[in-house]
Amino acid sequence: MPAAPEPAAWTALPLFGQKIVVTRAAEQAGELSARLRALGADVHELPTIAFQPPADP
């Protein structure tokens, strides 16, 4: 069975078909990920850092 054709609107996006890993902290990744998805990217969030308050302020 042949694969279904991609919708023309998606394939016209500049990042269509690109897989991008966003390594920003979880609380910072959302906006960047949303912008990349809007450009057609397949976005995966993989936070590599986390912010915590100091142990002794």
pLDDT tens-digit profile of 13-23?
999 999 999 99
| 2 occurs within a structural domain | no
Long-range CB pairs of 44-48, under 8 A, 24+ apart, other chains included: 44/19, 44/20, 45/21, 46/21, 46/22, 47/23, 48/23
Number of domains into which the chain is organized:
1
| 9 occurs within a structural domain | no
Report whether pLDDT(47) > 90: yes
- Full-model pTM: 0.72
Query: Using alpha carbons only, what angle is made at residue 54 by residues 48 and 56, rounded to the nearest 5 degrees?
Result: 155
| 36 occurs within a structural domain | yes
| 7 occurs within a structural domain | no
| 8 occurs within a structural domain | no
| 43 occurs within a structural domain | yes
| 42 occurs within a structural domain | yes
pLDDT score, position 22: 97
Domain residue limits at 37: 16-51
The winner for highest mean pLDDT among 1-5, 12-16, 25-29, 33-37 is 33-37
